[in-house]
Chain A
Amino acid sequence: MTRPANDEREVPCKEPWQSYYILRRGILPCCHGHSAIAPLSEWRTAWNSSALKEIRSYLAQGRLSPYCLESLSCPVVQQYLEKKRGESWLAAFRPASRPPLLRTFNRLFGGLPAKIYRKLGQ
């Protein structure tokens, strides 16, 4: 798949085109990838696997793929989430940093409240 020549949307990340990680923990499309898209043994085929093609497809359309959005250590994703949080109607009620009490509460419930909160924020 290629995008039309007149499509000028900026690709948010070029890593899945330019980089490829053949590691013991598996094949990663990016140094911030949260998990392997294929085992090490599939290094020949994973480059054009459906998983990697899907990631490229989203990015080519100027969007972050579900895989990217799960890769929370990625600065691009962090910046995207930060922007989304800023746009959310909840932003007005959000303190600069999460209070320790909420943090503890969140931890007690395995991070579920934070996930719901982030989902609402999107």
Chain B
Amino acid sequence: MNTQFKKGVLELVVLLSVAKRDMYGYELVNEVSKVIDVNEGTIYPLLKRLTNERYFETYLKESTEGPPRKYYHLTPSGQIYKEDLKSEWLKFHKKVDEFIKSDT
């Protein structure tokens, strides 16, 4: 898949995944990989940026195995941002779809 496509949608997919439930990094990578074939090298920096922009907050939670994990949680402003992004995507998607159909 086109890497430019991926980059644009990745943020939305990450936001939607964390909106479902709080997740830690590795879990999130696996979740996102179901939709987009993406490497970890791009997800973690994105998580960092979303956290820095206060859309995510993080907390540590003990795990049964290994050290405590860092969970990501969607903040209220993240919630708003996610909704904005989603409706933006849907509008954009609809327009592109219509354009493709008018072409054929």
A and B bind: no
Contact surface of B with A, Cβ cutoff 8 Å: none
Contact surface of A with B, Cβ cutoff 8 Å: none
